[in-house]
Structure 1
Amino acid sequence: MNTDVFAKRHIGIGNKDLGTMLKKVGASSLDQLITETIPADIRLEEPLDLAPAMDEHSFLNHLHSVSQKNKLFKTYIGLGYHDTITPSVIKRNILENPGWYTAYTPYQAEIAQGRLEALLNFQTVITELTGMELANASLLDEATAAAEAMTMLFALRSRAQKKQGVQKFFVSEEVLPQTVSLLKTRAIPLEIELVFGSHTDFDFDPAYFGALLQYPGKYGAIYDYEGFVTKAHEQEIKVAVAADIMSLVLLKSPGEFGADVVVGTTQRFGIPLGYGGPHAAFFATREAYKRNIPGRIIGVTKDLDGKRALRMALQTREQHIKRDKATSNICTAQVLLAVMAGMYAVYHGPGGLKYIANKIHGRTQQLAQSLAAMGVGQQNTQYFDTLNIKVTDSAKLKAIAEAKEINFHYIDGKHVSVSLNETTSDLDLEAIIACFAEAEGVKAENHSETTTVLEASVARTQPFMEMEVFNRYHSETEMMRYIKKLERKDLALNHSMISLGSCTMKLNAATEMLPLSWPQWGGVHPFVPVDQAAGYQEVLASLEHQLNVITGFAGTSLQPNSGAQGEYAGLMCIRAYHESRGEGHRNICIIPASAHGTNPASAVMAGMKVVVTKTDEKGNIDLNDLAEKAEKHKENLSALMVTYPSTHGVYESSIKQITQLIHDNGGQVYMDGANMNAQVGLTNPANIGADVCHLNLHKTFAIPHGGGGPGVGPICVAPQLVPFLPGNPVIPTGGDQAITAISAAPWGSALACLISYAYISLLGEKGLTDSTRAAILNANYMKERLVDGGFDVLYTGEQGRAAHEMIVDCRPFKTNGIEVTDIAKRLMDYGFHAPTVSFPVAGTLMIEPTESEGLAELDRFCDALLAIKNEIESCHAEEPNNVLKNAPHTLEMLTADSWELPYSREKAAYPLAYVTENKFWPSVRRVDEAFGDRNLICSCAPIEDFIEA
């Protein structure tokens, strides 16, 4: 074995297993299987034009060398991003721990209680600091969270407001520029009229439905907004506040002065800058709006024994279920980063947070007093960490500061803002003062005295975070054990295969992950001058080129930081393209019934009208129905959204006819990249006739799911759409006719992009193509094993082959009283996470094994499903007290003094021999979903409150 070849480490199938698997699928070679699976007319004729694969050692040396091109200046730019300190206990035990970063979204609550508790902590921190009643378990970044606030308030307009056509939204001139840009993007298709101005002279016209304030303002000024909010409410205007989370430790909470929604980012709670992300945003609001809040909410419920348990509350609002009626299309959260931010609060506690906030604020006061003593004025009467300083010549100051490797934010020729952070030391303060002294030609003054500048009207008086969890784990020993306790409750890829259809849970190789901890990548502010981020620019440009080659397209934007956001970005580029041609009336989006579930929600957000086309009995797009609807809507046809291979796991042979039909009727073709794991190196979106696709880098290109985020969803586009790739108001990006921002940072979650760059560079053309071939082989091997065991696979290609995933029909088991959910829960007893349940077809399992699983693990999973099928055959609908209905079985059950179930403890806990070698114990029994939705408890309330509820 050549140990330099990364593909041999990534692809699970060994040479000795290949023959066994090919024999099972009835193919003489892997080439034959691929030929019988993928239609010949879409196959690539040439290999991907990529650089040769690198070995792991060489790659790490390469990336270390490139990282040195990033200049780590002391950066005080602010604008929503601040340097921070990640506690080592959190860095080592969460960020660098596959038990946390390889987990999936916690839909299966019984094997996700650790993540759920960590997220409940996060929500509680947010509600405590914002003064709101309810918070979600994170959104993508502050700008998108503000946009979600705007759209939620728009949806919450009263009947009278809707009838009167009220659609104005006030945006304070204090709001961050990247947030303003993204608000413009979201407002256009919804026909929301944005009005910008000062909150001090807002006229409270009833033509407004909402307003957005920044607290503190973008250049640090703190205002007392209570009077504004009171007057707004008198006119039925709801108010959102974008708040700095660290400042809320010292400032009156927005909830206390009447805000309806509070949003922001938790980046400065221990999350590296990473040139813009990933970072967990927060969204908090009133209990009354709980069914309108975007994103995921963690709530408290009970299990079958009445024991306290956590779950994702109201999860049927998720986009893949509610489609166009979803509360938001942005279904990806930032769970791993939210967990880290929540743990930062747990580790420091309220006392530690006060110390950090006072240290930041105190040093800011020292800076203000020193500047004043030097005759340099600053304009903020009240501030937390940012000063707006008047200078003689900002260009002169910039030259002096950059020579000393210091970055400020230069507002204009006469004004500069300086934002301090928890890493700022006394020596740093002296260096800042020296810059201003030299620029102004005065003697440096250093004042150490501090007196508060926060008036009583804006100062926090309410206590916060008094729950035990925030006041117990302050030693590293205790913190390490608490993190480990939670980790043990969760099943992640470091325990067993997670065969989620459409979600591609593959190996996240350690070599791909290591650079995320390097300070040369983590310490770069997203708004530093581009020449200071030369290492990032090299990697991001290389990744864009790699993705262009893989997709066959001409241009890529890495800005979207989730798959659903990529969908939205692609549609907005199509919208801009039509408008540039004088065809802005084109607003019909055709979506097959088999498409990925986020597609309709994205189309509606982009201002399009959804027309759904039928699928035939084989799960393929009904060509006749598509042709009829394309012809009917040809004057207004904007786009077709199609997933390929289809969500049914089939390579439709008519795909080129489908895309040509749309082009003939004036539309563009958007291809959902959820299933790119079945395309890379063998076919591509350009080859099938698409014009734009988004890619889930957290699926196909190995970024870990992190328990439900980070995700990265770049879009790749054909030449005619390149001019419209999204821009950024601070650092120019995108095409020459760029649409406004899709996410806050110029290159989205740039830090996570290092992983996909590593994945592609380590595999090279051959490794990437072999990965796709292996994924198809694994899926077809499992299909044959399951079919031989009596399961029905719903859809296959014309020669009976699956793509990289398959749908197993569990509906026949209803005659035995067994639902697909029972199978999902019983799989936990066998040590496995369930495949995708009831999507895209109710009552089914969608299974995707990925290329990184080997034959032994595939067989273990098949053995488990086949054993469960045998168990089902002994079940009877009239006797529900059986091993499936009672699943999963906990250690507490198995060790209880009494056992009154009609099967043995061994059958419950150790149904197959392999389970005894590596038993995973669910920490709670089956959770009560309905009770949780009726009794939504979303913060760390005492157990007594839960019992009363």
Structure 2
Amino acid sequence: MNQQPGRSGLIFNEPLLWEKSREGRCAISLPNSDVDRVELDPELTGDAPELPQLSELDVVRHYTRLSQWNFGVDSGMYPLGSCTMKYNPKTNEVQAARQGFAGAHPFSGDEFSQGAMALMYNLEQYLAQITGFNAVTLQPAAGAHGELAGMLMIHAYHAKMGKQRSKIIIPDTAHGTNPASATLCGYESINVKSGEKGILEPEIIAAVMDEDTAGIMVTNPNTLGLFESNIKEIADIVHAKGGLVYGDGANMNAIMGIVKPGEIGIDVLHLNLHKTFSTPHGGGGPGSGPVAVTKALEPFLPIPRVEKKLDSYKFVTDCPDTIGRLHTFYGHFGVMVRAYSYILSMGAKELKNASTLAVLNANYIKESLKGTLNLPYDLPCMHECVFNDEFQKKDHITTMDMAKRLLDYGFHPPTVYFPLVVEGAFMVEPTETESKEDIDQFINAVKAIVKEAKDDPEKLKKAPLLTKVTRLDEVTAARKPCLRG
């Protein structure tokens, strides 16, 4: 497929609703009121709000045009590395919208919530089986919330052991939220560098691990898209000094069905359901960040917990070592339904196949663009690969210039300038659902942009050229945001 998905054409300009408003227009017909009209006291209510007056067609076109400004994985390839913009099968939405789930109320009590509780219990069991852990909580509301839950449990564990510790080891290839989660639990972050191959070396960990260190936070696969192959030896070093290993499971989409973190030395692991189990990807929420733990940490799980007795389910709060409640009620239930639907739809064989294809797609991109873009770590990658702009520096073209130009070719840019261990990083994650044809379009677009960097570098510095707005002053936009349309 030589043709690129991005084309110039109709780009609707859409003013504010108040600018389109005309006296007397109304988009809805209300039934006749069966009660007398009463004027409210203006001293109590103040002036009536100035609401726009629009026809139904005005309203429909307004929101349709706004939706066309947006870009998502339903529109095209969304290769954000580290974020895993995974396609959400539409059957998940159908199941979550079923009245029995959508209409469930958290005040209904155990007796009238058996179906919802059964789903949560089964989802916990599936996630425990997939990750190789003893128990799971679904309560955390997002990945970072799951990180905090995991670190709170590590903190509670050391308190129970009779000696609190003050430090936590965090590699340079960890996710950026890891230090924040550790700090919130009172730990000082001890940063360590990865080795020449982009993974942790056991001797580096052994040099900093002591009896005052609570453990280590490891992202595996790490943010370079590489599997931490020394993880078992590193876990043994940490455990020998009484520490615990926290696993950031944000990149589980690369190893689902292949590696069970609970069986290679990890003590606690959070999962991002939106990254691995195809639930909606944030945008302000709701999200879900379940946490899986070993038997030693199970007593510290947040409450309430779902337990099964014979053929019924109940919420249990009598857990003396628990870290307590982390979320109103029991978590974001609608997200759980979607993840449960995905797991049941796929089954064990296809969950493993999803990871296999994600790794295949990433390595295909890595090999295809190697030589076009610089590849700092030329090793087999997992779900994502990291390039940079080293080859383009002689033409004074940056990663940002290339990312902006990709918009003109119809692609959302990949993650740029992260991870920080790679200067000018250009981080691509295709996920498993992109076809070879779509990936080839992306590869050809990058190659065309790199050729432009040589032939017409000034064009790239002005990109994007075909979008609704062109190159923005991002510094001013951040400091002085203008929220008009």
On whether the aligned pair clears a TM of 0.5, the verdict is: yes
What secondary structure does 2:343 align onto? helix
The residue that corresponds to 2:274 in the other structure is 698
Structure 1 position 495, deviation (Å): 2.1
- Kindly provide the amino acid, as one letter, of the partner of residue 521 in structure 1: F
**Distance in 2 between the 1:740 and 1:454 partners?**
47
**Matching of residue 744 in structure 1 with residue 328 in structure 2:** yes
**Distance in 2 between the 1:672 and 1:452 partners?**
58
**Distance in 2 between the 1:637 and 1:454 partners?**
64
Give the alignment's TM-score, normalised by structure 2. Answer: 0.86
Q: Choose which of 745, 749, 767 in structure 1 pairs with 2:350.
A: 767
- Kindly provide the amino acid, as one letter, of the partner of residue 341 in structure 2: A
**Distance in 2 between the 1:821 and 1:487 partners?**
25
Structure 1 position 887, deviation (Å): 1.0
The residue that corresponds to 1:133 in the other structure is none
**Alpha carbons of 1:662 and 1:671: their partners in 2 closer, same or farther (altered >3 Å)?**
same
**Distance in 1 between the 2:194 and 2:398 partners?**
25
Q: Choose which of 21, 46, 69 in structure 2 pairs with 1:489.
A: 69
Kindly provide the CA deviation profile for residues 409-450 of structure 1, in whole angstroms up to 9, marking residues without a partner as x: xxxxxxxxxxxxxxxxx9xxxxxxxxxxxxxxxxxxxxx999
Percent of counterpart pairs with the same letter?
Answer: 40
- Kindly provide the amino acid, as one letter, of the partner of residue 930 in structure 1: V
**Alpha carbons of 1:494 and 1:658: their partners in 2 closer, same or farther (altered >3 Å)?**
same
Q: Choose which of 274, 293, 300 in structure 2 pairs with 1:717.
A: 293
The residue that corresponds to 1:589 in the other structure is 168
Structure 1 position 717, deviation (Å): 0.8
Query: Retained in 1: the 8 A contact 2:374–2:391?
Result: no
The residue that corresponds to 2:400 in the other structure is 821
Query: Retained in 2: the 8 A contact 1:698–1:710?
Result: no
Query: Retained in 1: the 8 A contact 2:268–2:291?
Result: yes
Structure 1 position 664, deviation (Å): 0.9
Kindly provide the CA deviation profile for residues 567-597 of structure 1, in whole angstroms up to 9, marking residues without a partner as x: 00110111111112212x2131110011111
- Kindly provide the amino acid, as one letter, of the partner of residue 858 in structure 1: I
**Distance in 2 between the 1:727 and 1:935 partners?**
43
- Kindly provide the amino acid, as one letter, of the partner of residue 762 in structure 1: S
- Kindly provide the amino acid, as one letter, of the partner of residue 873 in structure 1: K
**Matching of residue 871 in structure 1 with residue 455 in structure 2:** no
Structure 1 position 706, deviation (Å): 5.3
The residue that corresponds to 2:417 in the other structure is 838
- Kindly provide the amino acid, as one letter, of the partner of residue 289 in structure 2: G
Structure 1 position 487, deviation (Å): 0.8
Query: Retained in 2: the 8 A contact 1:500–1:846?
Result: yes
**Matching of residue 642 in structure 1 with residue 239 in structure 2:** no
**Alpha carbons of 1:603 and 1:476: their partners in 2 closer, same or farther (altered >3 Å)?**
farther
The residue that corresponds to 2:430 in the other structure is 849
Counterparts of residues 141-160 of structure 1 (less than 5 Å): none
Kindly provide the CA deviation profile for residues 609-657 of structure 1, in whole angstroms up to 9, marking residues without a partner as x: 1111111222112433221110xxx222112100001111111221111
Kindly provide the CA deviation profile for residues 917-948 of structure 1, in whole angstroms up to 9, marking residues without a partner as x: xxxxx22112211222332345x5xx9xxxxx
Kindly provide the CA deviation profile for residues 179-223 of structure 1, in whole angstroms up to 9, marking residues without a partner as x: xxxxxxxxxxxxxxxxxxxxxxxxxxxxxxxxxxxxxxxxxxxxx
The residue that corresponds to 2:82 in the other structure is 502
**Distance in 1 between the 2:126 and 2:47 partners?**
52
Query: Retained in 1: the 8 A contact 2:303–2:317?
Result: yes
Q: Choose which of 535, 538, 549 in structure 1 pairs with 2:129.
A: 549
**Distance in 1 between the 2:277 and 2:442 partners?**
24
When Rg is computed on C-alpha atoms for both structures, the one with the higher figure is: 1
What secondary structure does 2:328 align onto? coil
**Alpha carbons of 1:452 and 1:678: their partners in 2 closer, same or farther (altered >3 Å)?**
same
Structure 1 position 538, deviation (Å): 1.3
Counterparts of residues 336-347 of structure 1 (less than 5 Å): none
**Matching of residue 602 in structure 1 with residue 178 in structure 2:** no
**Distance in 1 between the 2:91 and 2:98 partners?**
12
**Alpha carbons of 1:572 and 1:452: their partners in 2 closer, same or farther (altered >3 Å)?**
farther
**Alpha carbons of 1:801 and 1:460: their partners in 2 closer, same or farther (altered >3 Å)?**
same
Counterparts of residues 294-333 of structure 1 (less than 5 Å): none
Q: Choose which of 368, 372, 389 in structure 2 pairs with 1:810.
A: 389
**Matching of residue 558 in structure 1 with residue 134 in structure 2:** no
- Kindly provide the amino acid, as one letter, of the partner of residue 261 in structure 2: P
**Alpha carbons of 1:454 and 1:745: their partners in 2 closer, same or farther (altered >3 Å)?**
farther
In the comparison of the two structures, how many residue pairs are matched?
Answer: 453
Query: Aligned-pair RMSD on alpha carbons?
Result: 3.1
Gaps of 5+ in 2: 1-10, 306-314
**Alpha carbons of 1:453 and 1:646: their partners in 2 closer, same or farther (altered >3 Å)?**
same
**Distance in 2 between the 1:535 and 1:660 partners?**
41
**Alpha carbons of 1:482 and 1:450: their partners in 2 closer, same or farther (altered >3 Å)?**
closer
Query: Retained in 2: the 8 A contact 1:592–1:612?
Result: yes
The residue that corresponds to 2:372 in the other structure is 790
Gaps of 5+ in 1: 1-112, 122-345, 360-425, 427-447, 877-881, 891-921, 944-949
Kindly provide the CA deviation profile for residues 845-882 of structure 1, in whole angstroms up to 9, marking residues without a partner as x: 11111111111011111111111111112245xxxxx2
Query: Retained in 1: the 8 A contact 2:361–2:430?
Result: yes
- Kindly provide the amino acid, as one letter, of the partner of residue 756 in structure 1: A
Structure 1 position 735, deviation (Å): 4.8
